[in-house]
Structure 1
Amino acid sequence: MTGVLDGYRVLDLSIAMAGPLASMRLGDLGADVIKIEPTSGEWQRHTAAGGATGNRVNASFLSLNRNKRSLAVNLKDPAGRDLLTRLVHSADVFLQNYRPGVAERLGVDYASIAAVKPDIVYASISGYGETGPYAKRPGQDLLLQGMAGALYSSGRAEDPPQAAPYFLADAITAYSAFEGVLAALLHRERTGEGQLVQVNMLDALIAMQMQELTVRTVGGVRQRRGHEIHAHSYIRAPYGIYPTADGYLSLAFADLAVLAEVLQAPELARWDAEKDGFARRDEISAVVGARLRTASTEHWLAVLDARGIWAGPVHSYDEVLTDPQVAHNGSFVTYRHPTEGEVTTPGFAFRMSATPPAVGRPAPTTGEHTAEVLAGLGVGREEIRRLIDDGVVACEE
């Protein structure tokens, strides 16, 4: 069974997370993704998240680069740029996340690539946009989270803003780019026209907050953090992660009258959820928090569930890996890698009945497919050897 994008070719010149994750999703759906990386290997190969370096390929790179082939080529060398130009003729998508101005210097900006392949779908990812006062700022995940506004919507007023404990900006930008490329490919199927798709991390994070920011722009309601536990300034109390006698649980959108009975806290029943849930948020949260500390997480989850109150456990990664629903869903995939052995990573965000995503290739080693890709361009064995000797390309023997 082939993927829905079987027959499409993607040239991925991106680094770090947002671009590689977007192109990996295209590869999961069957596209032939060729990772164009320097002869020394892409930056992410040498930067190990959490110190998980692996044998030859670190965990960060493995997580973002399955279903790709690696062509290791020096694009600063004219011979290297010529090889890329020849590949562009057979490509459907060109993806890069260079700093502003770099693509132009290398001759791989949209105008240059479209001159070679007019119907190309060209995706350009940036931190803040490719022009404007912030265009040259570093587009790093934490910096973008700080700029996008949401960090003042949760927690206590006296606490510092708390960022998401995962690369939220990179992930939402990757999915935005994935979405934009698919839409542009559909347009090309209908009209034969290629186009430029521009995605920036700041806009992606702002667009993700469509409800919250519209509450501010249309409703005129400002963010207001209280002094008790609360996870979202625009949602009524109780809403948050609460300590129990032996751990934590999450609690959301509880009927205060029912919660009053379950927690044996009659004062909760005197308050109206919609009106007082905002106006008296700290008082409600304080009562709930005090009661939840008196018994175990297991106890509270059982009694809350029995009364139809929305509550759940707060998992560590170890607990996610052993959760029965995660196992049932097949949320992780496991495959063999030639240097890293058995690799388990998060799988696919959606299912498809006719053309499901799949792992067809493990994350490549640097230049693992250089000879294969160049042979597909008609480059002979002697020329490939000369290119290797001249340092234009690197090839995994």
Structure 2
Amino acid sequence: MGALSGYRVVDLSIAMAGPLAAMRMGDLGADVVKVEPVTGEWQRHAPAGGATGNRINASFLALNRNKRSLALDLKSPAGRQAVHDLIAGADVFVQNYRTGVAERLGVDYESVRRTNPGIVYVSISGYGKDGPYANRPGQDLLLQAMSGAMYNVGREGDPPQPAGTYTIDAITAYSAVEGALAALLHRERTGEGQLVSVNMLDAALAVQAQELTIYTVGGVPQRRGGRPHGHTYIRAPYGAFATADGHVALAMPNLAVLGGLLGSAELSAMDENVDGHTRRDDINAIVSAALTTRTTGEWLELFAEHGLWASPVYAYADVLRDPQVRHNGSLVTYEHPTEGTVTTPGFPFRLSRTAPEVSRGAPLAGEHTRELLAELGYAADRIDALLAEGAAAQDRSAQAPSAQDSSGQDPAAQDQLAQRPVAQSATRQQEASTA
């Protein structure tokens, strides 16, 4: 039994932030019902990175495990009635529609709470429900750009640098889960439901608590230097540096110790809290020249002996082979009825008594329509009528079995994935980039 077993989440969200938030609640045991159009959510048909599947694309698989799918046409009266019948017995409702869409479909907060006054209604938007940007598209890269974070990395004169992950989508999703759980706790104490509003812009700023406060309180502007540096507000050296056979990440080492290891008297004589900021380019030049003389493994061993913070720089193939990743069970592997063996990131936390798990893989569009409508008390002939008139849809293949969760990694599956030619190691990526 998961920590949220017995709770029902109605998920009307699309893309990443909303689906990821709902999936996390499903990982904790909630019964998550993904209400999607009769043709399926658009992300089923838009493969991220070109990774198409047999029936389900990789990006959809990544964000929609532990859900059942109810395919309804919310523009039809019958479809709208069905979703409100579902809402009547739900605990959490999640949507991230563009401004005005929820109202047009009759699933805005006021409409939903008339059906279920105790509902925890999670509304996710790009910039907030009103204001000058309310109608702008809320997409991860656009919010990264507006957040100021792109000027925290890179070199002076270079273009602003985006993150290599959908950072804003992810922090928005976790903010939504945090808000939903807080609202559920309040409801347990008082019986009151409420609206939880989350927007990507606020989430993007909140995650930069340190950086923005350095600017607002300390008055220190973002200063990028002439050489690559990992973060404008952190002293040098801080970033990834080439070695004889790859790259090593080095974070804020003691300059006296580092200078000794690199044979640089100039570096050893520097004040790390002054020169570490004002002479970043000089420091990075010294470190860059010295680190190419040995392999990554040799530097990591030497740095560890002297207590300096360092790590290898991985590509995804290296991540899958890492012994700590395997030890932690950071990825989960399960069997999907149409996509075969699926390996995907697992759970970012552990619970000692109510552990998260994969009880089912991402559903086919409308896979559970008949099952869910029957649970709502719809008779078989009424379900048949809804399907016939197009107000609802179901997947016509055989009912897919629940996923079998390995609750960790399948080493054999990880080995196969790590050998894929597209998942280059860090060394091979370096060779390709310099060829």
TM-score by length of 2: 0.90
Distance 1:280 1:58 in 2: 48
Q: 2: distance between equivalents of 1:394 and 1:104?
A: 23
Say whether residues 1:338 and 2:337 are aligned partners.
yes
CA contact (8 A) 1:229 1:242 kept: no
Displacement after TM superposition at 1:137 (Å)? 0.7
Give 1:268's aligned residue. 267
Q: Which residue does the alignment assign to 1:54?
A: 53
For 1:271 and 1:28, how far apart are their aligned partners in 2?
A: 50
Once the two structures are superposed, the pairs formed by residues 119-130 of structure 1 within 5 Å of their partners are 119-130=118-129
CA RMSD of aligned residues (A): 0.7
Q: What are the Cα deviations for residues 58-93 of structure 1, in whole angstroms up to 9, with x where unaligned?
A: 111000000000000000000000101111110000
CA deviation after TM superposition for structure 1 residue 294, in Å: 1.8
Q: Which residue of 2 is the match for residue 143 of structure 1? A: 142
Task: Tell me which residue corresponds to 1:364.
Answer: 363
Contact in 2 for aligned 1:141/1:170 (Cα 8 Å)? yes
- What amino acid is aligned across from residue 67 of structure 1 in structure 2? N
The match for 1:88 is: 87
1:43-192 correspondence to structure 2 within 5 Å: 43-192=42-191
Query: Which residue identity is paired with 2:209?
Result: M
In structure 1, what is the equivalent of residue 432 of structure 2? none
Partner of 2:297: 298
Matches within 5 A, 1:13-28: 13-28=12-27
Query: What is the deviation of 1:276?
Result: 1.1
Cα separation, 1, equivalents of 2:186 and 2:367: 33
Post-superposition shift, 1:158?
Answer: 2.1
Cα distance in 1, alignment partners of residues 52 and 177 from structure 2: 28
Contact 1:223 1:234 in 2 (8 A): yes
User: Which residue in 2 is equivalent to 1:209?
Assistant: 208
Detail structure 1 runs of 4+ shifted over 2 Å in the superposition: none
Displacement of 1:296 after TM fit? Answer: 1.5
Query: Quick one: percent identity of the two aligned structures?
Result: 64
Between the aligned partners of 2:19 and 2:204, the Cα distance in structure 1 is: 18
Q: Tell me how far apart the structure 2 counterparts of residues 129 and 7 of structure 1 sit (CA, whole Å).
A: 31
Structure 1 counterpart of 2:160, one-letter code: P
Moved more, 380-389 or 94-103: 380-389
3-state secondary structure, aligned to 2:235: coil
TM-score in terms of structure 1 length: 0.99
Q: Deviations over 1:167-199 (max 9, x none)?
A: 111111000101110110001001110000000
- For 1:273, what is the secondary structure of its paired residue? coil
Q: Deviations over 1:240-284 (max 9, x none)?
A: 111112211100110111001111111111111111111111111
Distance (Å, rounded) in 2 between the aligned partners of 1:137 and 1:357: 36
Supply the distance in 2 between the matched residues of 1:287 and 1:150 (Cα, whole angstroms): 27
Q: What is the CA-CA distance between 1:298 and the residue it aligns to?
A: 1.4
Task: Give the SS at the match of 1:274.
Answer: coil
Aligned partner of 2:364: which letter? T
Instruction: For structure 1, list consecutive stretches of 5 or more residues without a partner in the other structure.
Output: none
**Secondary structure at the counterpart of residue 66 of structure 1:** coil
Moved more, 274-283 or 71-80: 274-283
Using the alignment, how far apart are the partners of 1:384 and 1:295 within structure 2? Answer: 69
Distance, in Å, in 2 between the alignment partners of 1:207 and 1:334 is 33
Secondary structure of the 1:308 match is coil
Whole-Å Cα distance in 1 between the matches of residues 58 and 243 of structure 2?
34
